[in-house]
A and B are shown apart, each in its own frame.
Chain A
Amino acid sequence: MPLLEVRGIRKAFGGLQAVKHLDFTVEPGEILGIIGPNGAGKTTVFNMIAGYFPPDAGEIIFKGEAIAGMRPWEVSRRKIARTFQLARPFGDLTVLENVMVGGFLHQGSREAARQKAEAVLRFVGMSPQADVEAHTLTVVDRKRLELARCLATDPELLLLDEVVAGATPAEASAMMDLIRKIRDNGVTILMVEHVMRVIMGLSHRVLVLHHGETIAVGEPQAVSRDPAVLKAYLGERYGQA
């Protein structure tokens, strides 16, 4: 049984069909990458899964339960965590306190939440910055902090929205290692990414969105050779360069 099953979801904003008709599944333990040109509907798909707005039609099934139309916190409590394209830490709080906010979801006491947060910070390698005020972090560290916050909620499915955007190649490689480590700990990952090296290197399968529809899905190598993908996505970009 797939961990997440998306069946025929649709979303329009006024006259704009952001997502026309979309079916896909995420299998337990895999990393599924979603790529597509700007405006393809990638973030819209995330927002529907994570409960930020309901799909106009279609179903989203997580572990056998229909979650379409639930509010963000209800989705989060069912162990789906998400990051945002623009990572915004809770600026007044320290790095540790930021992660504790996530830790409180399944830990009753302040002490337990703190221990959870410390363990997560060790895992993502941010322990040295635990007492730093979060608003002073670099863009890349903000993304790592956001990831840590998510992990503190013990997710089974993690939705990553462009976590390496703005990173140097070295930082991107470190982030890739971290994402692999998270997957190895049993967290299934659905990620949206623009950086080809990252998405091709990490994903077990890649889904290509264009104008709100799937134009290809499969293993990274196969997808990258798909004529439809080259035309719609890679062709467009490389043609301009």
Chain B
Amino acid sequence: MANRHGNRSLPASLAGTAALLVLLLLPLLVRDEYYLHVLIGSLYFAYMASAWNVVSGYTGQLSLGHSALSGIGGYLSTLLFINTGLSPWIGMVIGAACASAVGVLIGWPCFRLRGPYFALTTIAFAEILRIWTENTEEILGIELRGAQGLSVPLKGHSPALFQFQSKLPYYYIVIAMLVAVMAITWWMERSRLGFYLKAIRADQDGAEALGINSTRTVLAAMALSSFLTALGGSFYAQYFRYINPERNMGLDLSIEMALMGIVGGQGTVWGPVLGACLLTPAGEISRATLGGKFPGLHLVMYGLVLVLAVLFLPKGLIHPIRRLAGRRAGRQVGKRACPA
């Protein structure tokens, strides 16, 4: 039994180590800032989709408002930096803790109900937060600057303040964040929490009959997911040195996080990463080549990809890959039951 899980994770960990090595060495080959930017973007989205996956992928409760949590993270770390000079390294943890609390408050009434309430509530909350921020110039003497957004004050090369001259440090930071979120997901999947989440996703009544407090379990995942998402929002703010409501808490970002998770394969460690690594460059290329002529075409493409994925690979792109890897390693995936 033990080597069954060993077999399953061996190809994945080998592939992971190889991918990590390639990523770490890639900047030696890629000198062009633009390509580095696309790489950072892909890794950032891989991180965000993975953070979304912690709650939506493992519980089946679709969130279409995760951008609100990203916005809370990005705005709080930036506002704390502007107004108190607090390093964004610390500010991002404070922002993440607040986002965690907000995530629990959104989830608490919804997870007690069944049905699409959570998806609807997350959209509504994120949109209300975005519209409010866009229309608020200042609150309690703190400048929010509405739709214009906030610039992170330039301090030159200052690692302690999460500011660097070149893109390279951001590249390594986002790799570290992605590895961390994947490790957390991997650990969670194997822990009691992961088992409970998957049980609730499959059959909530059945899970509760085995002593699982489903509301509390899903809220724990929501708190974790919110925390991680907000850290991503702060990273975004530091990387671009600028945040605005549309980009950092808009519906687009929420949809992209969910889309990458769903297309890649929700409820798996690698699925959201795969989804992000395919869709981000695809979106970037279509925007760069066709963006001028057909604004919004990348959104049409996203829609098309989602339809195709749901039709042909409802478990995500990762599923056939896993089956193949499992077969190579001698594991019988989806082995038929022998009639007793």
Contact = CB atoms under 8 A, between A and B. Distances in A.
A110 B194 CA distance: 11
Contacts of A24: none
Interface in B1-31: 1, 4
A138 B337 contact: yes
A139 B256 CA distance: 40
B114 interface: no
A123 to B, nearest CB: 15
B339 interface: yes
B32 interface: no
A128 B338 contact: yes
A212 to B, nearest CB: 23
B209 A100 contact: no
Contacts of A76: 208-211
A100 B1 contact: no
Nearest to A94: B4
Interface in A91-124: 91-93, 96-97, 100-102, 104-105, 110, 113-114, 118
Interface stretch (A26-34, A82-90, A180-188, A194-202): A82-90
Contacts of B332: 131
B1 A118 contact: yes
A77 B211 contact: yes
Contacts of B199: 90, 93, 101
Given A102-B210, A105-B210, A114 B202 contact: no
Given A96-B1, A133-B335, A153 B211 contact: yes
A131 B340 contact: no
A202 B203 CA distance: 30
Nearest to A149: B210
B113 to A, nearest CB: 15
A88 B206 contact: yes
A138 B203 contact: no
Given A128-B338, A133-B334, A133-B335, A93 B202 contact: yes
A136 B211 contact: no
A156 B65 CA distance: 44
Given A76-B208, A130-B1, A153-B211, A90 B198 contact: yes
A136 B337 contact: yes
A110 B208 contact: no
A132 B208 contact: no
Quick one: which of A71, A102, A150 has the most chain B CB within 10 A?
Answer: A102
A90 B202 contact: yes
B1 A138 contact: no
A104 B195 contact: yes
Interface in A65-84: 71-73, 76-77, 81-82, 84
B190 A73 contact: no
B208 to A, nearest CB: 4
Contacts of A137: 337
A50 interface: yes
Contact of A84 (B195, B205, B334, B338): B205
Contacts of A73: 208, 211-214
Contact of A71 (B202, B208, B338, B340): B208
A25 interface: no
Contacts of A82: 209
Contact of B4 (A91, A93, A131, A140): A131
B217 to A, nearest CB: 9
A141 interface: yes
B293 interface: no
A146 B203 CA distance: 12
Contacts of A97: 195, 198
Interface of A: 50, 52, 71-73, 76-77, 81-82, 84, 88-93, 96-97, 100-102, 104-105, 110, 113-114, 118, 125-126, 128-133, 136-138, 140-141, 144, 146, 149-150, 152-153
22 contacts: A71-B213, A72-B208, A72-B209, A73-B213, A76-B209, A84-B209, A88-B202, A89-B202, A89-B203, A92-B267, A101-B195, A102-B210, A105-B210, A110-B192, A128-B338, A129-B340, A131-B335, A133-B335, A138-B337, A138-B339, A138-B340, A140-B340
Interface of B: 1, 4, 190-192, 195-196, 198-199, 201-203, 205-214, 267, 332, 334-340
The 3 closest A-B pairs by CB, nearest first: A76-B211, A90-B202, A72-B208
